[in-house]
């Protein structure tokens, strides 16, 4: 085990009660968690299978597990659970299937599936604007917030202030009924259903509390109400728990995260011990002084101040630009000049911004200067149409009742089935209370549809049934998956629809990547019971393929990303663009008076920088097709002046000075110099 500082060591060794590790940015929290797991196994003799650690991303979970495995022999880590909250929830539902309203082959709806289902329900109810993305997005947000706050459909209306929003409460009830009818869950259900089972079933609760003898939670400040309740129910009154978090980095309120969960810990666990990790191993002192100075303007549950032994470092540069065009050109040219002068790698540089649109002009400048860059937050792997199509084939094999997957693939490729045929099929399924796929094989369908349409649907059902049987029985399912997709003619469609040879290559490469990922998941699984197509498809629905792809790609590029996307990362040289009111802080936060979260976002941005930090602002910015004069961000005035190199401000201050005072200062400086001589 590597050497820990005194505070980290204290956090690692404390196991006699609940512990909150208040871990500032760059303070080595992952080392504390991983070494604490190793300490529990090696020195405290906890069996690995009795320890559970949860975090928020697949990447963080993989890194954490790999680090623990590097500290201990493999036989000692066997059975250790290190996963995301959603992976843990999925495993819980599989173990406790009999205590859920689900059947064994339940499917997981992604956000796209949920939106499509809600749109169908809204159209069915003749709601005005049913096909509006904005209205569907609003409905999704309401329902997700209710679920994360553990509010049942029948109680949802009581939480509303605007009577017009009652339609969303009605939709919530309808949406839940349809999910159960499809034998499906959405992502929120993976947390909410286990929480409700633990709340209502004492036998299950006692079993899981006995099973998990120690629990560790990473990024605790990002937990929502349901996640907090889940943790509390799993650890019980004894509080065999370590949570690691930083309230100053809570930037996901829009996703339901509640930094106030930190205060609840003290209330629910009166014996809570708090250890602060304030030594930063990432940044220079000037950068940390800037971060501390900005965040001190927020109210705090727990106070802390980051410090570093890496020296003062360079002054933080604030650069005023004439316009957003000028800003983009300036940043691009500064990066290439800095790299040529110092011989650094492109990956040492990052440009951060509040909103995605800010990257457009910068991209054009980088391309013009032939600077390689990577834009984070692009289309997710699973959002690509070819991946969603193939995943829908796999989902319906996993769950024949998955009507959402059925509707996506029944005409992919085209099978000559029009909307009228599918409407009749849907009504038949509803009348007989069976799935769309089951309806295709039902003899009664001959009375509803013409022979040609009936035989097409019947052949489709036989095709799915054949491959379902084959895939479940075959020990090597990947070649069979390929054969199934080839047999549909889907690959030919991809080739014929591609507008360019490069587009064709990209889409075929994506499909090959999916096959490779299925194989990799099978190969990586230690548990033989999970080396089957059913377990793999479940995992794939949760897997963040984009993260894996980015790790495998050439990373020697300049990094462009939003401040939200930068959390957890670090770079030697950082530019933060757009330090203007209504951009950072964002206009919505000014209107809704949620400036504190924007200030935390600023804090996150500052603490990404290791060696040098530059912030830019434009006097004019294009908005809605016209140039508008901007106002500098209030956060710039919260920075410590002694640590700034801000030429425009110095110039302004000089211009505002009384000429008489300037002359007096000049004379005083000369006299001081003469005295020294």
The catalytic site residues sit at 29-30, 218-219, 249, 608
Q: Which residue matches tokens 């969960």? A: 261
Torsion of CA 293, 297, 302, 304, to 10 degrees: 0
| Integer-rounded Cα radius of gyration of the chain | 28
- Report the alpha-carbon distance of residue 115 to residue 599 in Å, rounded: 32
- Report the alpha-carbon distance of residue 244 to residue 20 in Å, rounded: 6
- Report the alpha-carbon distance of residue 40 to residue 114 in Å, rounded: 41
Estimate to the nearest angstrom the gap between the alpha carbon of 317 and the chain centroid.
31
How many of the other CB atoms lie within 10 Å of CB of 305? Answer: 14
What angle, 0 to 180 degrees and rounded to 10, lies between the N-to-C axes of helices 324-342 and 359-368?
50
Q: What is the total residue count of the chain?
A: 677
Q: What count of Cα atoms within 13 Å lies in the side-chain half-sphere of residue 110?
A: 19
- Report the alpha-carbon distance of residue 488 to residue 14 in Å, rounded: 58
Helical H runs in 249-384? 261-268, 285-295, 324-342, 359-368
The CA-CA-CA angle for residues 362, 366, 371, to 5°, reads 150
What is the DSSP secondary structure assignment for residue 48, as one 8-state letter?
A: G
- For the chain, first and last CA: distance in Å? 57
Q: Which residue matches tokens 């690959």? A: 491
- Report the alpha-carbon distance of residue 82 to residue 28 in Å, rounded: 18
Torsion of CA 472, 473, 475, 477, to 10 degrees: -40
Which helix (H) or strand (E) segment is 501 a member of? helix 501-524
- Report the alpha-carbon distance of residue 399 to residue 288 in Å, rounded: 52
Burial-class residue 255 by CB neighbours within 10 Å (0-12, 13-18, 19+).
middle
Q: How many helices (H) and strands (E) does the chain have?
A: 32, 16
- Report the alpha-carbon distance of residue 664 to residue 677 in Å, rounded: 20
SS3 string, 101-145, reads CCCCCCEEECHHHHHHHHHHHHHHCCCCCCCCHHHHHHHHHHHHH
3-state DSSP: the chain helix, strand, coil percent, rounded to 5?
60, 15, 30
Q: Phi and psi for 149 in degrees, rounded to 5?
A: -95, 10
What angle, 0 to 180 degrees and rounded to 10, lies between the N-to-C axes of helices 85-95 and 189-200?
50
- Report the alpha-carbon distance of residue 496 to residue 512 in Å, rounded: 18
- Token pair listed for 489: 């003619």
Contact present, 551 and 328 (Cβ < 8 Å): no
- Report the alpha-carbon distance of residue 1 to residue 15 in Å, rounded: 18
Q: Give DSSP secondary structure letters for 506-544.
A: HHHHHHHHHHHHHHHHHHH---GGG-SHHHHHHHHHH--
């Amino acid at each position: 085990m590597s050497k820990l500082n005194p505070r980290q060591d204290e956090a690692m060794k404390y196991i006699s009660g609940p512990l909150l590790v208040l871990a500032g940015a760059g303070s080595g929290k992952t080392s504390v968690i991983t070494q604490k797991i190793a300490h529990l196994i090696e020195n405290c003799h906890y069996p690995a299978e009795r320890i559970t650690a949860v975090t928020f991303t697949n990447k963080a979970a993989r890194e954490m597990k790999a680090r623990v495995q590097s500290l201990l022999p493999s036989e000692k880590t066997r059975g250790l659970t290190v996963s995301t909250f959603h992976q843990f929830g999925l495993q819980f539902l599989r173990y406790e299937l009999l205590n859920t309203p689900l059947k064994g082959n339940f499917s997981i709806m992604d956000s796209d599936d949920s939106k499509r289902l809600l749109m169908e329900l809204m159209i069915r109810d003749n709601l005005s604007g049913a096909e509006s993305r904005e209205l569907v997005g609003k409905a999704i947000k309401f329902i997700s917030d209710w679920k994360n706050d553990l509010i049942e459909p029948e109680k949802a209306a009581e939480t509303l202030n605007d009577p017009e929003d009652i339609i969303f409460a009605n939709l919530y009830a309808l949406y839940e009924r349809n999910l159960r009818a499809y034998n499906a869950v959405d992502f929120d259900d993976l947390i909410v259903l286990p929480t409700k089972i633990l709340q209502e079933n004492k036998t299950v609760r006692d079993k899981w509390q006995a099973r998990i003898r120690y629990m560790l939670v990473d990024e605790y400040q990002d937990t929502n109400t349901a996640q907090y309740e889940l943790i509390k129910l799993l650890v019980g009154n004894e509080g065999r728990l370590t949570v690691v978090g930083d309230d100053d980095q809570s930037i996901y309120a829009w996703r339901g995260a509640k930094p106030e969960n930190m205060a609840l810990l003290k209330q629910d666990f009166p014996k809570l011990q708090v250890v602060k990790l304030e030594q930063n191993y990432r940044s220079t002192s000037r950068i940390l002084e800037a971060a501390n100075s900005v965040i001190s303007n927020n109210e705090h549950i727990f106070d802390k101040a980051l410090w570093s032994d890496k020296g003062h470092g360079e002054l933080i540069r604030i650069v005023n630009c004439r316009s957003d065009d000028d800003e983009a050109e300036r940043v691009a040219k500064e990066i290439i000049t800095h790299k040529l002068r110092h011989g650094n790698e492109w990956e040492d540089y990052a440009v951060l911004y509040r909103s995605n649109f800010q990257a457009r002009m910068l991209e054009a400048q980088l391309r013009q200067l032939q600077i390689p860059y990577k834009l984070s937050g692009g289309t997710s792997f699973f959002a690509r149409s070819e991946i969603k199509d193939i995943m829908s084939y796999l989902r319906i094999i996993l769950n024949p009742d998955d009507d959402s997957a059925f509707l996506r693939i029944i005409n992919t490729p085209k099978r000559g089935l029009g909307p009228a045929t599918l409407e009749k099929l849907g009504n038949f399924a509803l009348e007989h209370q069976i799935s769309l796929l089951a309806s295709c094989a039902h003899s009664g369908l001959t009375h509803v549809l013409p022979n040609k349409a009936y035989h097409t649907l019947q052949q489709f059902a036989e095709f799915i049934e054949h491959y379902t049987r084959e895939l479940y029985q075959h020990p090597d399912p990947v070649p069979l998956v390929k054969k199934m997709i080839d047999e549909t003619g889907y690959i030919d469609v991809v080739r014929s629809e591609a507008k360019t040879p490069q587009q064709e290559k990209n889409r075929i490469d994506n499909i090959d990547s999916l096959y490779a990922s299925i194989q990799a998941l099978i190969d990586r699984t230690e548990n033989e019971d999970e080396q089957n197509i059913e377990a793999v498809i479940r995992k794939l629905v949760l897997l963040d393929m984009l993260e894996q792809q980015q790790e495998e790609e050439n990373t020697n590029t300049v990094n462009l990303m939003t401040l939200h996307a930068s959390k957890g990362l670090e770079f030697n040289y950082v530019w933060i663009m757009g330090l203007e009111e209504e951009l950072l802080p964002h206009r919505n936060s000014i209107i809704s008076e949620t400036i504190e979260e924007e200030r935390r976002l600023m804090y996150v941005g500052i603490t990404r920088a290791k060696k040098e930090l530059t912030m830019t602002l434009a006097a004019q910015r294009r908005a809605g097709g016209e140039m508008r004069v901007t106002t500098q961000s209030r956060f710039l005035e919260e920075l410590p002046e002694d640590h700034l190199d801000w030429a425009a401000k110095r110039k302004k201050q000089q211009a505002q000075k009384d000429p008489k005072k300037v002359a007096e200062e000049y004379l005083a400086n000369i006299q001081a110099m003469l005295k020294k001589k």
